[in-house]
Amino acid sequence: MKVPFFNLDRQYTQIKPEMEKQALECLSGCAYIEGPAVKELEAALSRYLHVKHAISCGNGTDALRLALRACGVRVGDEVITSPFTFFATAEAVASLGATPVFVDIDPITLNLNPELVEAAITPRTRAILPVDIFGVPADMDAINGIANRHGLRVVEDAAQAIGAQYHGRMAGTLAHAGCFSFYPTKNLGACGDGGMIVTDDDDVAALCRAFKTHGSGRNGQKAAALLGMDADGGELDGQMQGDSFYDPYKYFNYLIGENSRLDTLQAALLLTKLNHLDEYNQKRAQNARRYAQGLGNTPLRLPPLSPEGMVPCWHQYATMAPDKKELAACLVKAQIGTGAFYPVPLHLQKAFRSLGYREGSLPHAERACRESVCLPIFPELTQDEAEYVMATIRGHYGLNG
């Protein structure tokens, strides 16, 4: 049997008529940028997540950049974050001219360890950027508590955590701003790139909207005012009423932003997939339960099925293998797809060499990178495939029969 690590084909085949209907409507509607589906998706996600503002953008990396900037992160600031995540988390910080400060993870949840955060705060610290890694929310109450005591902002990297819950609240809504990615393999994946920022804070929302569209228009004007810049609309202030053809503010720019829009086509396809998200996440959870039952007596360290107060969305099923190389070789031989998230902790990435971290500086993140073997957990994985994965692993450890 051949078991893929991830398979988009199966999902597409199941929802093909809905997806193609949406795509064709969007194509014939011709409103390819800022079309109606974009607003609909933003409204649908704010309802789904119970959050006031949802601001779409080009991808999850941009969502982080925009949210961090809206939370006041500037050149020379420090942002405390996890070393055990995808590169984009810390790249977003560095791309704003700020410095990522890596703090080690909790070895069980694999998320930023709040107990180590306080010691990393300096006068330059502006924000904390926890990551809900693999779909398990970070310890947000503890992190928010530290942030409140020190006057810091918190941005939640929920790129992998759409639909996960933390003490009854939705992941991504647990900080000043939360960021999602719609990369095709995410639990809610587009057919291309896409991202979303969510927040209950009106000012953060206005700033994100301004930054993502060249600092122009009413949002640009509002953002400039919030930032204490010259936000006088001049003679246009009197012209805003009654012009239904175009927004005269569009070509009036109040600050330097960027272009990070979600395509209408992607928004339309995401709206279709959003209807299935809970069902997909339940199927992922069912696969996690199967693995927990079938692999419990192997030497693998398995992710906790129900971390206290949390409902993970099972973006990945990351096991920790004492013999990662040998197990991975066995799985490859058995034609089972696996992922090694993440082979290199961010503090040891070449791109961050100038920060001066050495091997041994963050031992739990380094160990997770040495041991992590992610198993297929996508919603359409069949019971037979899961059984085959488990039998192969038990066989590898001499536990079959």
Ligand X SMILES: Cc1ncc(COP(=O)(O)O)c(C=O)c1O
Tokens describing residue 150: 């020190």
Single out the segment in contact with ligand X by CB under 6 A; choices: 56-64, 207-215, 298-306, 370-378. 56-64
Beta carbon of residue 353, minimum distance to ligand X (angstroms, whole number)? 21
Closest CB to ligand X among residues 182, 249: 182
DSSP letter at 33? B
Q: How many residues make contact with ligand X (CB under 6 A)?
A: 15
Binding of residue 221 to ligand X (CB under 6 A): no
Is the distance from CB of 160 to CB of 137 less than 8 angstroms?
no
Single out the segment in contact with ligand X by CB under 6 A; choices: 43-51, 153-161, 204-212, 249-257. 153-161
Residues recorded for the chain: 401
Binding of residue 67 to ligand X (CB under 6 A): no
Binding of residue 195 to ligand X (CB under 6 A): yes
Closest CB to ligand X among residues 159, 224: 159
Is the distance from CB of 318 to CB of 374 less than 8 angstroms?
yes
Binding of residue 131 to ligand X (CB under 6 A): yes
Single out the segment in contact with ligand X by CB under 6 A; choices: 48-56, 57-65, 107-115, 201-209. 57-65
3-state secondary structure (DSSP) of residue 282: helix
Single out the segment in contact with ligand X by CB under 6 A; choices: 53-61, 217-225, 277-285, 390-398. 53-61
Tokens 């999902």 belong to: 11
> Hey, which residues between 308 and 337 contact ligand X (CB under 6 A)?
none
Binding of residue 181 to ligand X (CB under 6 A): yes
Can you tell me which of 22, 56, 61, 338 binds ligand X, judged by CB under 6 A?
A: 61
Q: Which long-range contacts (CB under 8 A, 24 or more apart) does 5-13 make?
A: 5/337, 5/338, 5/339, 5/374, 5/376, 5/378, 6/185, 6/337, 6/376, 6/378, 7/378, 7/380, 8/184, 8/185, 8/189, 10/378, 10/380, 11/280, 11/378, 11/379, 11/380
Strand partners, 195: 57, 181
Binding of residue 59 to ligand X (CB under 6 A): yes
Report residue 75: phi and psi, to 5°.
Answer: -50, 130
> Hey, which residues between 70 and 129 contact ligand X (CB under 6 A)?
85-86, 88-89
Binding of residue 379 to ligand X (CB under 6 A): no
Single out the segment in contact with ligand X by CB under 6 A; choices: 58-66, 68-76, 322-330, 389-397. 58-66
Is the distance from CB of 296 to CB of 302 less than 8 angstroms?
yes
Can you tell me which of 56, 160, 221, 338 binds ligand X, judged by CB under 6 A?
A: 160
Closest CB to ligand X among residues 187, 264: 187
Binding of residue 56 to ligand X (CB under 6 A): no
Beta carbon of residue 186, minimum distance to ligand X (angstroms, whole number)? 7
Q: Alpha carbon of 140 to those of 108, 111, 126, 326: distances in Å? A: 16, 10, 17, 36
Closest CB to ligand X among residues 22, 89: 89
Binding of residue 341 to ligand X (CB under 6 A): no
Tokens describing residue 199: 């927040």
List all residues 6 or more positions away from 374 whose beta carbon is below 8 Å from its beta carbon. 5, 134, 316, 317, 318, 319, 338, 339, 340, 341
Single out the segment in contact with ligand X by CB under 6 A; choices: 7-15, 20-28, 156-164, 227-235. 156-164
3-state secondary structure (DSSP) of residue 116: helix
3-state secondary structure (DSSP) of residue 394: helix
Radius of gyration (Cα) for the chain, nearest Å?
Answer: 22
Can you tell me which of 183, 254, 314, 342 binds ligand X, judged by CB under 6 A?
A: 183
Which positions lie near ligand X, rule CB under 6 A?
59-61, 85-86, 88-89, 131, 157, 159-160, 181, 183, 193, 195
